Amino acid sequence: MEEEFEQQGAGINFDFKGFLIRILSYWYLFVICILIGLGIAYYVNVRKLPVYRLGSMISIKDDQNPFFTSNTSLTFNWGGISDKVNTAVTTLKTRSHNEKVVEELQYYIQYLKEGEYQKVDAYGQTPFTVEIDTMAGQLLNHPLRIEFLSDSKYQLSLTFEEPPSAGKLMVYDTKEKFPIQLDQNYSYKFALEEEVETPIFKGVLHTNGLRAQQGNVFYVQFLDFNAVVKKYENISVGTSSKGGSIIDLALVDGNKAKIVDYLNTTAKVLSRDMLHRKNLFATKTIRFIDSSLAVKAGELQAVEEEMNDFMQQNQIIDLTTESASLKTELNTYDLELRELERQLDYYQNLESYLRSRSDYSQVPAPSVSGISEPSISGGVSRIIALAEQRSKYQYSTKADFPAFGDIDRQINATKEVLLENIESSKQLLQQEISGVRKEINDLEAQARQLPKEQQDLLNIERRYQISEQTYKLFLSKRNEAGLVKAANVSDVQVIDRAKDVGGGKIGPNTELNYVMALIFGFSIPLVFVFLIVFFDNRIHSVQDVERLSQIPVLGLIGKSRQDSNLVVYNRPKSSIAESFRGLRTSLQFIYKRKGLEGSKTVLLTSSVSGEGKTFCSMNLASVFALSGKKTVLVGLDLRKPKIFNDFEIKNEIGIVNYLVGQQDLASITQATRYENLDVITAGAVPPNPSELLMSEQMDELMEALKHQYDYIILDTPPIGLVSDALNLFRHTDATLYVVRQNYTKDPMLNVINEKYRKGEVKNVSFVLNYFQQKAKYGYGYGYGYGYGYGDTYGNGYHENEPSNSFWSRIFKSKK
């Protein structure tokens, strides 16, 4: 029994049905919060500016120069498009690239106009454009008001509602910022195309074809350059699933014209920069050749002058037939020797490159040195192709991709074969060079047999011929590099330019704001109600009482809206009166079960004052009296007597006078105007109420009352405040412990539970008072376990309680 009681007392069961009904009882709070949330959402939505998202598409192609092949170009370009695509994606999001775009578009100048609720972006809608002096300071983050006085004159002004503090100027050429002390107001008048020089702005307003009208008002605001660039670094850049070389660009902003211009300009800047990098080789080659041509031209001119001077001094017009024949042969062998030496130098450089480098994507082309050996050209092409394939995998797979090992093995094998071919080709070239040099030596020996003048002229003409051939070679390469540069096209190809074709709006998401308003409007009161339920430790229902105590619930007493406590007499057909009749029946059943005969005693107590103990005592005594039983109501709350006013009797003499021996029982007993009902009031407040209730006189009083009355109702003090009632439990046949709905707290039942558990209190039952079936807690057993059946079935048996209006209930609850 003890363990069962402890388990039941400690058990916690959350009543979801009650919680839901309690939520519904606060419906007005949900309605108010939802309306407030929707109002806030509407206020925010109508003031939010539209947000748009537009996109464009570009392709990164490896556009080779159509005038050259891999064997005739100045250099190979086998890097592949994977590297270019990744480089382009990274470049488009870099600060330096976006700085160029912002600088070109001058997006640090913001054009505004008055909107319905705020200033809105007017980019592309103003009848003027601003050209600033980039070397002068411009005031940051303060809109300058421009009001047109005519179609060509305007007023520039800046006013502050409050005294201004120090501002900042920015020099856009150097991106430096300087402080400035602002005045209260600025106002100037200028004409379009007129130079403007003020402390806050230096520049010119140019007309742009749109006609200004008198009274038009616009605003110009200068923004921090770095902040603007940072904003556009968030441009969306991604490779398209349609192809590895396709890049999708997208930008979000409040002005579609700005988005279109920015996307197209960023593609233009990228194309320009990539073409510039692509032309770097040709540009540097041209620069080198130009410097070399100047040197060779000087050498050629010097040799030519030397030859002319020699011919004039020696009066020689030309070489003899024999000398001319030797010159022709020597020139042929000289050119052949230089060609062979150039090829040998290429082989040596290629060998050094292959042995010292791990990146083979920039291997020099054999055609640069005039090498057409198939094994060499094929090996170089093969190794470059493998390097390109590895580069593609490098940007799309992990470092441990299995194909890397296979490609590296193929590159190494190709490199070994190529190195062997280079070695054999070098040996052949060296043999050829030795043979050519031998032929040159033989011809030079023949030349030494010529006359002295013919030998010297032959040497001069030979040097002239070599210089001329070298000059022509450089000139040819210069023309080739120029043609390469002129024919080069950018690897960036715009597939789908950004364009405003309508639509593109992605915000503000007004529907989401309304949904969020509904969610928060519902959640806030829900949390509020949950916290109320969670921290509420008051008793609201029979289930709460049964959860907290093993003591049974004997009956429910409804809420009385009458001014008088004598509900049973004043409204005998009311539901509350029926509740007390039900309670009377339950008590009689208890008495019958215990086999009690003769006078019977009922004690009523509670935890604290205000739970309706006296109200229940008076009405319980009334129903016993109405049943024809002689009943006495004894007021034993000696500290706070209350039962006399409703019966229209006095409290001058009472039970205290009897207990101290001043009066007898007849003197303290007062008849009421109701038949069969007497009342014994408490009398004057004594200094020792507990001792009086424990005295022998109290025992004698109870015995005397049992001889005179059928039912004795004892109204006692709350046991949660004083122990007086505990001294009277020995005189009672049944004890009713009054609990008030929404008033009595859970811990207040601990005292009676402890007494019941120890067996110090027996025959005790709970009465749930002030019970409202339509309360905020959703619990209802009817009034008195079967006496409250509602309006449909109860109209023939009960009188309806007078109902108050909504506002009167609100006022009363506040009171």
> Does the pLDDT value for residue 105 go beyond 90?
yes
Q: Do the Cβ atoms of 555 and 767 come closer than 8 Å? A: yes
Q: Which residues contact 732 (CB under 8 A, 6 or more apart)?
A: 601, 602, 603, 714, 763
pLDDT value for 38: 92
Helix-strand-coil percent breakdown of the chain, rounded to 5? 50, 15, 35
* Lowest-confidence pick of 57-61, 274-278, 315-319: 315-319
Q: Write the DSSP symbol of residue 526.
A: H
Please tell me whether the overall predicted TM-score, pTM, comes out greater than 0.75 for this model: no
Q: Which residues contact 626 (CB under 8 A, 6 or more apart)?
A: 568, 569, 572, 676
Which residue has better confidence, 229 or 76? Answer: 229
- Domain 551-814 in CATH: superfamily? P-loop containing nucleotide triphosphate hydrolases (3.40.50.300)
734-740 and 764-771 beta bridge pairing: parallel
pLDDT value for 350: 79
Span 410-415, mean pLDDT?
A: 81
> Does the pLDDT value for residue 329 go beyond 80?
no
* Lowest-confidence pick of 218-227, 278-287, 667-676, 709-718: 278-287
- In 264-314, DSSP assigns E strands to none
553-558 and 711-715 beta bridge pairing: unpaired
Can you tell me the distance from the alpha carbon of 42 to that of 93, in angstroms, rounded to the nearest whole number?
Answer: 36
Q: Do the Cβ atoms of 291 and 299 come closer than 8 Å? A: no
What angle do helix axes 95-105 and 225-232 make, rounded to 10 degrees?
Answer: 110
The chain-wide mean pLDDT, for the chain, equals 80
- CATH 3.40.50.300 in the chain, residue ranges: 551-814
Which band of pLDDT confidence, cut at 50, 70 and 90, is reported for residue 411?
Answer: confident
- Cis bond upstream, residue 641 (ω within 30): no
pLDDT above 90 covers a percentage of the chain that reads 30
pLDDT value for 68: 45
Q: In which residue are the tokens 């002129």 written?
A: 486
Can you tell me the distance from the alpha carbon of 789 to that of 781, in angstroms, rounded to the nearest whole number?
Answer: 9
> Does the pLDDT value for residue 77 go beyond 70?
no
> Does the pLDDT value for residue 782 go beyond 50?
no
Can you tell me the distance from the alpha carbon of 207 to that of 214, in angstroms, rounded to the nearest whole number?
Answer: 15
pLDDT value for 44: 86
Buried b / exposed e over 383-410, threshold 16 CB at 10 Å, is bbbbbbbbbeebbeeeeeeeeeeebeeb
